[in-house]
């Protein structure tokens, strides 16, 4: 009994002690490295076949559906079914609503490269959309910028601070064929055993959130220190692929080890059990150690325990978006111009004038402290949000809300100086945007 009391108390009081504990064995295998996708999941292809398939329309045109072989479609279908089963086992309920792709339409912008700088009169100050978004988020070392952006935009629509960790986990569970095609619809080989915690598609993440609801940050913490550390167990510098389900896997594995043990058994192995309890609590901060221990000791299977924990920790209420909501993406064709974002600027301006934040997929090399001067970094594909436009220092400038936390040192000069950077957000020129933006997305 004293042992039990000891580990319950220990569960909430030893922040640094876990650092020395060896990580749980990873559940999954690592896959062969391949080039990182964009922040939005798109890939830049140098394949001439890809360019032949590119529509040559003058105005925006609808994106052709991906062309998959029958075998690839069968594999994708099987993966999707498997993930559906897993999702239901874990959370006990199917999506609240099933949405079609009509909610997240994509169109091409022509990328003419004709940039006409705006005068002061043409660049009136827009409302600061960041006021709807709360503090700047931090993505840590993970490649989930797309989920941060999607969570921020959904938060702006719903008025709740939604969890980008939950949104990313849902995305990786439910969009298994995200890597099945590149941006030109060319099939890529889907790998049913792999979920990469590295890149994603902003609009698909928005769709997942709208279908299934998203936990709030208070329910599923995205920036808990130990959540970061857990993830880091699978992260090594230089690896471009993070082994599976980086956030969830170790936690779930740890929970699995404890399921079905009686309280007496738990008391015999306090450190092991303590680790599981802490894992569950950091993923679901609203649960206390007693609730977690009760779930672990009474559940008959891992699924049952996890189902119970998530049901108690986060109910994923529907987001309450308007029935006719649309999240439209305008995609440029970077092969056509050195300034692929030129024709995306009017789309950005429209939204900012209406006080709406705009998601942006872009090449962040010039803005990044670690990427700007490093000759080994050819391109840094990233996602962020544009929140304001203003005429500053004689030119029209845009405020980028990044996900590197509230500091400025992650950005390269001059974007990190006091004239450009404001607590994790930095000003860029319209020329910068024209040269680096690859796609923009916004709620209509």
Binding-site ranges for other proteins (CB under 8 A): 11-12, 15-16, 19, 35-37, 39, 135-136, 138-143, 145, 198-199, 221, 223-226, 228-229, 232, 235-238, 240, 278, 281-282, 285-288, 364, 368-377, 380-383, 403-412, 416, 418, 421, 423
Residue 253: count of CB within 10 angstroms of its CB: 19
Pairwise CA distance, residues 384 & 440, whole Å:
10
Beta strands in 98-236 (DSSP E): 106-108
Query: At closest approach, how far in Å is the CB of 236 from other proteins?
Result: 7
Contact 115, 431 (CB under 8 A): yes
Contact 416, 408 (CB under 8 A): yes
Closer of 82 and 409 to other proteins (Cβ): 409
Query: At closest approach, how far in Å is the CB of 326 from other proteins?
Result: 26
Contact 371, 378 (CB under 8 A): no
Q: Which two tokens stand for residue 189?
A: 């080989």
Pairwise CA distance, residues 163 & 124, whole Å:
33
Pairwise CA distance, residues 251 & 253, whole Å:
5
Pairwise CA distance, residues 193 & 396, whole Å:
47
Query: At closest approach, how far in Å is the CB of 226 from other proteins?
Result: 6
Query: At closest approach, how far in Å is the CB of 391 from other proteins?
Result: 23
Closer of 73 and 241 to other proteins (Cβ): 241
9 contacts: CB under 8 Å, gap ≥ 6: none
Closer of 222 and 297 to other proteins (Cβ): 222
Closer of 12 and 55 to other proteins (Cβ): 12
Query: At closest approach, how far in Å is the CB of 381 from other proteins?
Result: 6
Closer of 19 and 70 to other proteins (Cβ): 19
Query: At closest approach, how far in Å is the CB of 38 from other proteins?
Result: 8
Closer of 28 and 369 to other proteins (Cβ): 369
Strands 381-392, 425-429: pairing is unpaired
């Amino acid at each position: 009994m004293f042992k039990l009391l000891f580990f319950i108390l220990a569960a909430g009081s030893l922040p640094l002690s876990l650092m020395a504990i060896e990580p749980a064995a990873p559940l999954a295998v690592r896959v062969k490295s391949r080039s990182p996708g964009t922040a939005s999941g798109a890939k830049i292809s140098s394949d001439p076949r890809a360019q032949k398939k590119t529509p040559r329309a003058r105005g925006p045109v609808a994106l052709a559906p991906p062309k998959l072989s029958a075998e690839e479609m069968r594999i994708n279908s099987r993966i999707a079914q498997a993930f559906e089963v897993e999702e239901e086992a874990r959370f006990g309920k199917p999506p609240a609503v099933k949405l079609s792709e009509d909610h997240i339409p994509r169109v091409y912008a022509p990328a003419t490269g004709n940039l006409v700088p705006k005068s002061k009169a043409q660049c009136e100050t827009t409302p600061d959309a960041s006021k709807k978004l709360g503090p700047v988020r931090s993505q840590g070392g993970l490649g989930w910028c797309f989920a941060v952006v999607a969570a921020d935009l959904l938060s702006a629509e719903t008025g709740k601070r939604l969890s980008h960790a939950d949104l990313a986990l849902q995305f990786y569970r439910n969009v298994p064929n995200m890597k099945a095609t590149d941006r030109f619809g060319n099939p890529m080989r889907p790998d049913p055993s792999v979920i990469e915690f590295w890149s994603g598609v902003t609009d698909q993440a928005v769709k997942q959130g709208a279908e299934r609801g998203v936990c709030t940050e208070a329910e599923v913490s995205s920036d808990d220190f130990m959540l970061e550390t857990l993830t880091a167990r699978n992260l090594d510098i230089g690896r471009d692929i993070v082994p599976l389900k980086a956030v969830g896997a170790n936690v779930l594995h740890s929970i699995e080890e404890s399921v079905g043990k009686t309280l007496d058994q738990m008391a015999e192995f306090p450190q092991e059990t303590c680790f599981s309890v802490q894992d569950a609590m950091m993923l679901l901060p609203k649960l206390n150690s007693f609730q977690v221990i009760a779930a672990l000791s009474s559940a008959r299977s891992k699924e049952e325990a996890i189902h119970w924990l998530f049901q108690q920790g986060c109910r994923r209420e529907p987001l309450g978006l308007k029935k006719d909501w649309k999240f439209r993406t305008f995609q440029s064709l970077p092969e056509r111009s050195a300034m692929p974002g030129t024709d995306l600027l009017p789309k950005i301006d429209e939204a900012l004038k209406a006080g709406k934040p705009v998601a942006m997929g872009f090449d962040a090399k010039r803005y990044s402290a670690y990427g700007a001067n490093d000759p080994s970094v050819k391109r840094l594909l990233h996602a962020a949000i544009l929140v304001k436009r203003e005429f500053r220092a004689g030119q029209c400038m845009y405020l980028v809300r990044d996900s590197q936390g509230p500091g400025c040192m992650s950005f390269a000069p001059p974007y990190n100086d006091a004239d450009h950077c404001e607590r994790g957000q930095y000003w860029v020129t319209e020329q910068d945007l024209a040269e680096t933006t690859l796609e923009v997305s916004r709620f209509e």
